[in-house]
Amino acid sequence: MEGVDYLADERKKAGFDVDEMKIVWAGSRHDFELTDRISKLVASDPGFSKEGRTMLPRKELFKNTLRKAAYAWKRIIELRLSQEEATMLRRYVDEPAFTDLHWGMFIPAIKGQGTDKQQEKWLPLAYKMQIIGCYAQTELGHGSNVQGLETTATFDPQTDEFVIHSPTLTSSKWWPGGLGKVSTHAVVYARLITDGKDYGVNGFIVQLRSLEDHKPLPGVTVGDIGMKFGNGAYNSMDNGVLSFDHVRIPRDQMLMRVSQVTKEGKYIQSDIPRQLLYGTMVYVRQSIVADASLAMSRAVCIATRYSAVRRQFGSQNGGQETQVIDYKTQQNRLFPLLASAYAFRFVGEWLKWLYTDVTQRLAANDFSTLPEAHACTAGLKSLTTSATADGIEECRKLCGGHGYLCSSGLPELFAVYVPACTYEGDNVVLQLQVARFLMKTISQLGTGKKPVGTVSYMGRIEHLMQCRSDVKQAEDWLKPSAVLEAFEARSARMSVACAKNLSKFENQEEGFAELAADLVEAAVAHCQLIVVSKYIEKLQQNIPGKGVKQQLEVLCGIYSLFILHKHQGDFLGTGYITSKQGSLANDQLRALYSQLRPNAVSLVDAFNYTDHYLGSILGRYDGNVYPKLYEAAWKDPLNKSDIADGFHEYIRPLLKQQLRTAKL
């Protein structure tokens, strides 16, 4: 029946103020009102419909994405939306498009690396979308190893130009979104060569296509790299391949904020330190962490609602079967993911603050917090994207067979999200960067340099190396101090163990290569500590609303104790807890699942996602799953006729064939 809320009974169980939780999730009342208004505006507009997206052939899918992007721009202009509102609208359109890279990478690169004069020239054009840009860094042969890029930019003092060239097949730019068919310009990263010397990788603004007929300019070979994983998903994006055959650009199209080349071909460093380039990287990675909480929460919302609707087994005397969400095995898999969504949301909020703080310090030539910010964003990008990709797939499995249907929304969500594990830095490589930061921090402990920020716990290294957990009963694991010290001791001891093993190698780089797997584990432990500590800090704030703080405490307990249980070998191996204390943590974890259960549906309602944004029949707000699944099945193109195309050519001859016994 239309209009019936099949999850109404679940919503009546909520022991907290759901409206206040929506504000906590959004970050502030302003952010809640903004997201609520814009998401509903998009959901109510037929121009943004997702109907049949996963069934469209690639060319039609891509053309439909171009239509939506153009329509979104039209609505942004008509409604006179602010930049913040426009960004929100593009998010809720929920379709990967060239605009993502134009606004998310091309413009920030010019803002971060261009001189004031270059920004005055290029940004007005980009803001009005009179040019469309992308970010061309990754090559066919090199991704994470940016210093290994092969594209060259050789300065010619005779003409005051750079010659951009792709000397090898593997130097072809490969993967940039928006490059394949749309972008008119790109920020291209190439090896700067002047006066016969290679000065490493630098950014250049390069025009790729004519602004008259959109054809590639002379010397530019550009196209799409082909179909990617999943139906719909990232196939709406024109990820591209690009190569140059001695393409000339004016000297002033080198991004010159931190380094310049004079007319005579002399390379000079500007007064602005090169570390400023990391500001853009910190911005992009903190955005990725925020996106992780969105993707995880979408998957969890679908799986939670469906787990409450779906019933299997357990019926007695003809009564109803048991709700799947009541099975402890389902709770053990689902509730930690729900807790992770909240945890990632709060650490994302903190990273946003960190980026603002770092930016203000950089403007004042204070670079003291930059190494930590770089390590934080690298490590948390790696941790959250890996956990989210795994979490989305787990949610698909939590939905049983129906989770495999495109109409569940989960296969496409996974296919759209999973590239985050490798873009902006491969996740294992990023954790190795964190490990280097940790090893450097430990090496400086005896020098009097006090560790600050997320590594400040290292300043208590002697205590953390010797202390033992004083947990005596399961409830003791609810104390934030008990949990925090456990994570600090585990991280400190794993890092110190790596540092000791590294010291046994005469060549430190050889040691890093040999101990890479251990170093990654130490980095992950450190990043999990950051998430737990920021969650605990969140709970120390004034949180209004009936029962809201209590539910957040339950979720924090589930996240931290689940991590403790999952990585119990680390906590036991470092000697901080005993096996008995580990068992008590698991007992408390099960008790927290029982406390969470009545509030599960309302906790995902607090994400405030429209059915349009979720794009899932299984995750519908009203829980009316089965009639809608049945209805959707008949919309498949295969069901347009009773007899399939190809029946008469291939199936009928099989059915009508005369079988004869072979004579040997």
Higher pLDDT, 32 or 112: 32
Delimit the domains of the chain by residue range: 101-272
Instruction: Give the annotated binding-site residues for FAD.
Output: 138, 177
For this structure, is 349 an active site residue? no
**Which of the four pLDDT bands, split at 50, 70 and 90, describes residue 663?**
low
pLDDT, tens digit, 9 for 90 and up, residues 254-269: 999 989 999 999 999 8
CB 596 within 8 A of CB 555: yes
**Which of the four pLDDT bands, split at 50, 70 and 90, describes residue 2?**
low
Residue among 372, 424, 485, 553 flagged as catalytic: 424
pLDDT, tens digit, 9 for 90 and up, residues 541-567: 999 999 999 999 999 999 999 999 999
Q: Would strands 259-261 and 267-269 be described as parallel, antiparallel, or unpaired?
A: antiparallel
pLDDT, tens digit, 9 for 90 and up, residues 602-644: 999 999 999 999 999 999 999 999 999 999 999 999 999 999 9
**Residue 196 φ then ψ, to 5°:** 75, 5
**Which of the four pLDDT bands, split at 50, 70 and 90, describes residue 208?**
very high
Residue 448: pLDDT over 90: no
**Residue 265 φ then ψ, to 5°:** 95, 15
In sequence order, the 6+-apart residues with CB closer than 8 A to the CB of 468 are 575, 576, 577
How many other β-carbons are positioned within 10 Å of the β-carbon of residue 483? Answer: 26
Residue 1: pLDDT over 60: no
How many other β-carbons are positioned within 10 Å of the β-carbon of residue 427? Answer: 23
**Which of the four pLDDT bands, split at 50, 70 and 90, describes residue 275?**
low
* CATH class for the region spanning 101-272: mainly beta
Residue 16 CB-density burial (10 A; 0-12 exposed, 13-18 middle, 19+ buried): buried
pLDDT, tens digit, 9 for 90 and up, residues 566-597: 999 999 999 999 999 999 999 999 999 999 99
Rounded to two decimals, what is the model's pTM? 0.94
Instruction: Give the annotated binding-site residues.
Output: 138, 177
pLDDT, tens digit, 9 for 90 and up, residues 177-199: 999 999 999 999 999 999 999 99
CB 170 within 8 A of CB 141: yes
d(CA 610, CA 603): 15
- Crossing angle between the packed helical segments 277-309 and 370-398, to the nearest 10 degrees: 20
**Which of the four pLDDT bands, split at 50, 70 and 90, describes residue 372?**
confident
DSSP annotation of 55 reads G
